[in-house]
A and B are shown apart, each in its own frame.
Chain A
Amino acid sequence: MTIVGWAQIALVLAIIVAAAVPLGRYIAAVARGRVTWLGAMETLFYRAGGIDPARGQDWKGYGLSMLAANAAGFVLLFAVLRLQGMLPLNPLGLDGMSSWLAFNTAVSFVTNTNWQAYSGEVAASYLSQMAGLAVQNFLSASTGIALALAVSRAFARGGVKELGNFWADFTRVTLYVLLPLTLVLGTAFVALGIPQTFASYVTATTLEGAEQVIPLGPAAFQIAIKHLGTNGGGFFGVNSLHPFEGPDAIATALQIWGQAIIPFALCLTFGRIVGDIRQGRALLAVMIGFVVLATAAIYAAEAAGNPLLTALGVDPAMGNMEGKDLRFGLPLVALFTATTTGASCGAVNAMFDSFTPLGGLIPMFLIQLGEVLPGGVGSGLYGMLVFALLAVFVAGLMVGRTPEYLGKKVQAREIKLAMLAVLILPTTILGFTAVSLVLPAAVSSIQDGGPHGLSEMLYAYTSAAGNNGSAFGGLTSDTPWMNVTLGIAMLLGRFAYVVPVLAIAGSLAAKAKAPESAGTFPTHGPLFAGLLAGVILILGGLQFLPSLTLGPIAEHFVMLAGKTF
């Protein structure tokens, strides 16, 4: 680790936080319906859909609308992927995807996971990428942000049934937040060298006379929303490592900015919606704290290099470079990795499968902590609020008072629902991993021997259930078993989680908002932030440390002992 390395990390983080302040304010205005510069188009959507944007929905109505929009998105995307061979904008004449793969991919993009069992330049036509996958990059992100706005409103006032109108939130977030940001970031990406063309692949003749087929495509626009929406599904097979997807250090820094900016800003939006900006800042501080610690751990582990290679006569000065390209440098790889796994994005600018054992442990553990640090767009905020309820509950137990959060009494019903939500992640991850480690059809997907093989399988279900989408790429994931079970894990991680969260929101919204009193536990200071961080760490640690011990931690000691597989 070097001073220059830390200066890079600090600079990029500072730019994200500086931009989160105005963006948080802007999203709050969008949520209130005060932003109208595309009013004509917005109205057109409402008219065509027969929607009254001013009509509030209770949590069930809001949730049902959300599920309907996502189901429709799934059906259309599945059809496009299956039929791409017959559709236009397919210059390479690619065939339709198999039904297992199309199911997995459609679920993956609708749930904002973007797990990819296919490789972009080999298996997806320009139309599938642009009008199929990229559209879900937008809509799954708008879904997450809309849900976060609905849950935030539950804390704003007392005695209300309605959480807002899903269709209005969904339309406004897409038109006023995601589309303009995508156009701006996409333009910067083209300037840095990311292609944006409908021309077919180009065949070059190299200086030594060989042929090289260079893939192209309408990539920059899709890559911009891939980060802004914390989707993470690469246009090209190796994601942001591809020289066309991550052409230089500026591009990778902008992608880090893109994948963290909305999750950070939404904390401040939450503060504005509940009328106390300090509440949002406390949540943001916890998120940033974890991102910095995780970045430091990854940076240190990767900079140390692989001792097994050093023993062969490799200079360890540049760290562990297997599976990494040169142009980003380790500090930005570490920050990118911490934000992409902390933020449920899943884009990668280095291959996690080839990380040192401890370097690979951190991204996996960040997902297992619940995808709230800072979490996906929207899902990070509502996930964090679930942990906040658990934190005040723990504090309430310690002092023997009924816990309150933002003036709302937190009672048995909310805590039961919160526990139901947080148990979905470990149940799905550990359940599927355990079954897959004894099932021959699944075990054959593992590439590496020893503890690393276990890490590959554990990471896959962690990534799917956490709706992250990154992978230990050695695993063969395009098999019927993996496609179906990972698809189910993604659905559970997204929708089985969000239903209890909406139910909590509905229940809290109806409660009276008690005024602050001398006995109120303040939820904006360092004491609460520390408690919240502790709850997140203890819950995640207790659930996943045993499996991590068998995977990356065992591998670390095996590596130090010089053993290979």
Chain B
Amino acid sequence: MSVLRPAVTMVVGFTLLLGIAAPAVFTQVAGAIMPAQAGGSLIERNGQVVGSALIGQNFTGDRYFHPRPSATSGADPQDSSKTVDAPYNAAASAASQRGPTSQVLIDAVKERVAAAGLTPVPVDAVTASGSGLDPDISPENAARQVARVAQARNLPVDRVRALLTANTTAPVLWLLGAARVNVLRLNLALDDAR
């Protein structure tokens, strides 16, 4: 048939061009001129990768600022056919996908509000992020954690507050996006503070 030859030629030809050649060259060039970003913005300490500046990770100890709730899950170590809650599992990004009238959502938030202390609680502290890997918390959420972290580390509250301020990112051009605090960067700064 007369359309068969052009159809196959086009699909194969464009697969070679757009699916192999162009991205291969693009990857080489991007890796050469922007190796850090192209490689995932990884952060190293003492030669070891501790995370990515862009990917949130879980912190549970009092010595660190805590991230937002995360709905990611992972394989159950006891039974690999099942999944269990695994917050900040970066290998499988996920949201809760719970609707606004879901009892599961309401129960989860109720529990988090109770654990958070004084109300009203900043909403980002008690709701699961969309990616399950949100690297940021709101400045309001972070401010509520300052006293706990300062006490656990025996640091003056003002010192922790200064580190928080230094690690708060304003909206881009003071316009686009929201003010936020990168939890991993702030916690690294805390570890560096003596």
Give the interface of A toward B (CB within 8 A): 4, 7-8, 11, 41, 44-45, 48-51, 64-65, 68-69, 71-73, 76, 119, 121-122, 130-132, 134-135, 138-139, 167, 170-171, 174, 179, 183, 186-187, 190-199, 201-208, 210, 212-216, 218, 220-222, 236-238, 241-244, 247-250, 252-253, 305-306, 308-309, 312-329, 332, 349-351, 353-357, 447-452, 455-456, 472-474, 555, 558-559, 563-565
Please tell me if the beta carbons of B54 and A243 are within 8 angstroms of each other in the complex. Answer: yes
Whether the pair B137, A326 counts as a contact (CB closer than 8 A) is yes
- Chain B residues in 8 Å Cβ range of A357: 100-101
Q: Is B126 an interface residue (CB 8 A)?
A: yes
28 residue pairs A–B, Cβ–Cβ below 8 Å: A8-B176, A11-B176, A45-B9, A64-B3, A65-B3, A119-B93, A130-B23, A134-B23, A193-B54, A204-B42, A208-B58, A208-B61, A218-B23, A238-B132, A242-B131, A243-B54, A243-B133, A250-B172, A312-B109, A314-B123, A315-B119, A321-B124, A322-B98, A323-B96, A329-B177, A447-B97, A452-B102, A456-B99
Q: How far is the CA of A11 from the CA of B176 in the complex (A)?
A: 9
CB contacts (< 8 Å) of A207 on chain B: these are: 50-51, 59, 64, 184, 187-188, 191
Quick one: closest B residue to A252, CB to CB? B177
Q: How many residues of B contact A (CB 8 A)?
A: 99
A212 contacts B14, CB within 8 Å? no
Inter-chain contact A326/B180, CB cutoff 8 Å: yes
Query: Closest residue to A324 on the B side, CB-wise?
Result: B130
Which B residues are CB-close (under 8 A) to A134? 18-19, 23
Compute how far the CA of A349 lies from the CA of B134 in the bound complex, rounded to whole angstroms. 12
Please tell me if B193 contacts chain A, counting CB pairs below 8 Å: no
Contact B101 A196 (CB under 8 A): no
CA distance A201 to B58 in the complex (A): 19
Cross-chain contact A312 with B106 (CB below 8 angstroms):
yes
Is B77 close to A, CB under 8 A?
Answer: no
Contact of B134 among A72, A204, A243 (CB under 8 A): A243
Residues of B within 8 A of A50 (CB): 5-6, 9
Q: Please pick, from B4, B6, B123, B133, the residue contacting A305 in the complex, using a CB distance under 8 A.
A: B123
Q: How far is the CB of B134 from chain A (nearest CB, A)?
A: 4
The distance from the CB of A92 to the nearest CB of chain B, in whole angstroms, is 9
Contacts of B91 in A (CB 8 A): 121-122, 201, 213-215
Q: Which residues of B contact A73 (CB under 8 A)?
A: 11
CA distance A320 to B128 in the complex (A): 11
Best-surrounded residue of B42, B55, B100, B140 (most CB of chain A within 10 A): B100
- Say how far B88's CB is from chain A's closest CB, in angstroms: 7
Q: How far is the CA of A349 from the CA of B34 in the complex (A)?
A: 25
Residue in A closest to B188 when the chains form the complex, CB atoms = A207
- Cβ B11 vs Cβ A249 within 8 A: no
